[in-house]
Amino acid sequence: MTDLPIKTKQPLTPEEEAKKKAKKAKKKKEKWLRNERTFIGFERTLLAWIRTSTSLLTFGFAIIKLLSDEARLPGHHPILNAISPKVIGYVMVLAGFIGLAMAVSTYTKYAREFGKTQRQTFTNQAMIVSYVILILSGLILSAPFIKLFLTP
């Protein structure tokens, strides 16, 4: 029977231990940076959705205001007889509202997954702008119903 040598770990020198700790710290920082870059990508996506939904809301509101007046004039375009400009405008406003609401909910979901606190998520500048736009578009969408109930 042969005796196999038992492998034992040699104690690390202070220099080797310092290198090992530095390597661990560097890996941890790299992971944190990767997560932050990914989260910033989600913020850019939210800002793109804000831009897109604001465009839809603006065009929808412009269609409601401008083409509604044009539809009343004599000699207006025949397509305005088939499709009401208000319907087109409200559909665009609704699409912008739904798109922005979905973007906000997706952003908050991923913010939770990335370990952001609720306060960090809801007080973000992009989210505050989103809330204002959602409130204003909600008022635009509810205006016909409010007018319906307020008229005697």
pLDDT at residue 20 is higher than 70: yes
Lowest-confidence region among 62-66, 88-92, 94-98:
62-66
Say which amino acid occupies 138. Answer: G
- Domain map (residue ranges) of the chain: 43-150
> Looking at residues 72-101, what average pLDDT do you find?
79
The answer to whether 101 and 134 are in contact (CB under 8 A) is yes
**In the predicted structure, residue 107 carries a pLDDT above the cut 80:** yes
pLDDT at res. 112: 86
Residue showing tokens 């992971």: 31
Q: Does residue 86 surpass a pLDDT of 70?
A: yes
Contact (Cβ atoms closer than 8 angstroms) between residue 50 and residue 126:
yes
User: In terms of DSSP H, where are the helices of 83-124?
Assistant: 85-113, 118-122
**Residue 98: per-residue pLDDT:** 93
75 confidence band (pLDDT: 50, 70, 90) = low
pLDDT in tens, 23-73: 888 888 888 888 889 888 888 988 899 999 999 988 988 888 887 666 666
**Other C-beta atoms within 10 Å of 44: how many?**
11
> What rounded mean pLDDT belongs to the chain?
82
**Is 94's pLDDT higher than 80?**
yes
Asked whether the beta carbons of 52 and 99 are under 8 A apart, the reply is yes
CATH number for the 43-150 domain, one of 1.10.760, 1.10.132, 2.60.40, 1.10.10? Answer: 1.10.132
Angle between helices 85-113 and 14-62 (to 10 degrees): 170
